[in-house]
A and B are shown apart, each in its own frame.
Chain A
Amino acid sequence: QSALTQPASVSGSPGQSISISCSGTSSDVGGYNYVSWYQQHPGKAPKIMIYAVNNRPSGVPDRFSGSKSGNTASLTISGLQAEDEAVYYCTSYTTTSPVVFGGGTRLTVL
């Protein structure tokens, strides 16, 4: 199964906003509203930040938001904070297998 395409890295200064894209196909991102985003700090398990495209689990700051247009989903983090520095993964339900992951994007807070 082909992975979803994410940029390898993004960066931003504290207080700024950044977006991470997640490109797929009509068989995954474009075909279903089941895109999730995960944050992973070094040595830790991934943590769900967004599910079903734009829903935030309880406890996730509203600085994190998700959206989708066509075959591309996006995670936006506004008011960037040092603690947001991590690797972010997108996932999607897919017709070919239950789940496909993106390759991950390393966010650096300058």
Chain B
Amino acid sequence: QVQLLESGPGLVKPSQTLSLTCTVSGGSISSGGYYWTWIRQHPGKGLEYIGYIYYSGNTYSNPSLKSRVTISVDTSKNQFSLKLSSVTAADTAVYYCARDVALTANFDYWGQGTLVTVSS
């Protein structure tokens, strides 16, 4: 059974960089065919696609966030990470990592989500 677990600070100051890691267990990030994805949900709102990384390092980021987003992968640790720079209060959200099967919008496994609050 594949499991994903997000980790990182729950509080980030404005203008700083939000950094989260998703640790994958029960399966290998390098197995191919899966796109490792970040999704966020503002309080009381819907889901927002942040971007993905493939194990080879290919990435995609939502154009609305692209200039601030870096997604990376560490296959040796079976982890992938999200960095979001120059954060503001508008970046306060629950951040989820998820696995997309073959880039078909089929997110079959999700992390539990982690709330990140941007505040001084």
Contact = CB atoms under 8 A, between A and B. Distances in A.
Interface in B34-58: 35, 37, 46-49, 52
Given A45-B112, A98-B35, A51 B47 contact: no
B48 A101 contact: yes
Contacts, number: 69
B47 A104 contact: yes
B108 A48 contact: yes
B62 interface: yes
B106 A51 contact: yes
Contacts of B37: 99
Could you tell me the dominant secondary structure of chain A's interface residues?
Answer: strand
Interface centre among A34, A35, A99 (most CB of B within 10 A): A99
A92 interface: yes
Interface in B89-112: 96, 100-101, 103-108, 110-112
Contact of B49 (A45, A46, A57, A100): A100
Contacts of B64: 1
B52 A36 contact: no
A7 to B, nearest CB: 13
Q: Which of B35, B46, B62, B104 has the most CB of A within 10 A?
A: B104
B46 A98 contact: no
A40 B98 CA distance: 14
Nearest to A45: B110
Interface string B3-28: 00000000000000000000000000
Nearest to B35: A98
